[in-house]
Chain A
Amino acid sequence: MDKRLRNALQQLTASDPESRRRAMEPFVRATFAMFIRHLHRYLGNEVECEDVLEDVYADIWESPDHLRGIEDDRRLLKTVYLYYMRKRLREVYRRLNRRAYLSQADLQSLMAPDLGLCDLVSQEELKQLLHKMLGKLKARERRAIELWMEGMSNRAIANQLGTTVGAVKMLEFRTILKLREMLKEYSRESGRED
């Protein structure tokens, strides 16, 4: 863990609220990129991410006890997600539940799930892993996923592949399940499976 972040964390768990407030600036500077990228996985909306993160940092200031004794980035991210981000993510979507047909439990699993197989893998490692997994797919499957990741709509992907939107959705679904199996295998091999 970066020395600056370690110092900020130490001050952040002090009992005096003013000291914790002063420690917040270096803490935010050291963690903002990591936290917002993680939140983006669940929200997909930059503005929402910033709003949620603002509350997350204030919650951390108010009750930082969970962060005591943390000495590595991965554990920090895991703790912040489980104890602070999830609570705020649930609140974002709780108000929608009056008009949505998903049960509260399903809504929570979709929007603020438990940590998954590779949720704490670094961005760089994740990129390499996905690249490796895409290399194992059939050409058409890989192309569909790559086009999706370039930001194309399913209709545009269908045009590129010379097929229908329905067929593209089915292709994506099957390919994603294949990728899921590869992820499981990777987790087993690297000892990351829960």
Chain B
Amino acid sequence: MPSTHREIQELLADYASALRDGSLPTFLKSLTREEATRIHDSQDFWEATEVVRLMNSVGFGDRLVTPDVGLFISRVDAGIASRMKKARASTRDSSRSHVNLPKGFES
């Protein structure tokens, strides 16, 4: 990916390729200050990104393969369990701190 003084059409093509190839962070890091300004000022660029996203979805969305949704569900469940644990711990802490307050200092 060239790193300096890209014209707006080159920036769009590079954005499109980065989105397609799953390397958007690399594209973002490659932008120079001038290119960022160019993007900011270009209405065409912003309008074109919408089409690029749709093209990406039509062209590559169907190729998404998740071999085991069950495994993904267990990851989600583990995340939820961890949040529940945190919530319980914080409730316990706040009630404990309330109990320990001297008389007349309860909120």
Contact = CB atoms under 8 A, between A and B. Distances in A.
A45 B77 CA distance: 23
Nearest to B13: A169
A96 B29 contact: yes
B32 to A, nearest CB: 7
B80 A41 contact: no
A21 B76 CA distance: 10
Interface magnitude class on chain B: 35 or more
A44 B28 CA distance: 14
| Chain B interface main SS type | helix
Contacts, number: 184
Interface string A151-182: 10110000000000010111011101101100
A54 B48 contact: no
B22 A130 contact: no
Contact of A21 (B20, B33, B84): B84
9 contacts: A40-B60, A44-B56, A45-B24, A123-B57, A148-B55, A149-B60, A173-B8, A173-B48, A180-B47
Interface of B: 8-10, 12-13, 15-25, 28-29, 31-33, 35-36, 39-40, 44, 46-62, 64-66, 69, 72-73, 75-77, 79-81, 83-84, 87
Interface of A: 17, 21, 24-25, 28-29, 32, 36-38, 40-50, 53-55, 57-58, 61-62, 93, 96, 99-103, 106-107, 109-111, 113, 116-119, 123, 126-127, 130, 145, 148-151, 153-154, 166, 168-170, 172-174, 176-177, 179-180, 183
